[in-house]
Amino acid sequence: MSGLLVVTAVPAEAEAVRAGLTDPTVTVTPIGVGPAVAGAATARLLALAEAAGRPYRAVVSAGIAGGFPGRVAIGGTVLATRSVAADLGAESPEGFIPVDQLGMPPELLGGGTAVPADPGLLGALRTALPDAAVGAVLTVSTVTGTAASTEALADRHPDAVAEAMEGYGVAVAAAQAGLPFAELRTVSNPIGPRDRGAWRMKEAFAALTAAAAVLR
């Protein structure tokens, strides 16, 4: 049996994770941007490992993210209680309707629009990273870029601490494989109106390297 599989969106995130690792059994792989490619690539990695007789023990989606202002600081570390498909659903005059409230059979939704982190894995990470902000991490296909959309997301998900683009896809792949899942992020920017001058990529990558030391 193999160890832990850590998937990131881009190579720079994978390099930051590898720089902090102390456990040689942890595998780190960049898989691409967005929930669709993240889910498909993770499922393929898990299937190949199982077919080779070396299945992974657990899966972590890791990388940088946008943080909800007032809920997590720039450069801070985030642990997901659940990974949420925040824009999977329908618009209506009354507001956004999540897809699991549209009357579809549950078996067609891959576990619903939110996949909880494995309690044991999340508990171990919380113990190892006591200063991390803990809450929902939203997965979106379109990054939030206005004050109005930020406010709407915050209202719909009062427990949300960050927004990224892959966690839900990875979570569904892990759930389909019957493996524990967690999502670990570090914050490079506040979500909302895009201001590249306010982004702190260096700080976020440094925080990701520091956090990776607990992955084992």
- How many Å apart are CA 180 and CA 116, to the nearest integer? 10
Can you give the pLDDT at residue 92?
A: 72
| pLDDT at residue 111, as a whole number | 60
**CA-to-CA distance for 21 and 27, rounded, in angstroms?**
10
* pLDDT for position 86: 85
Q: Name the pTM for this structure.
A: 0.91
Q: What is the pLDDT of residue 161?
A: 96
Q: Tokens standing for 197?
A: 């001058």
Residues of the chain with pLDDT under 50: none
Instruction: Collect all residues with Cβ–Cβ distance below 8 Å to 205 and sequence separation of at least 6.
Output: 12, 13, 16, 64, 186
Please give the pLDDT value at position 68. Answer: 93
Pick one of 3.30.2010.30, 3.10.290.10, 3.40.50.2300, 3.40.50.1580 as the CATH number of 4-212. Answer: 3.40.50.1580
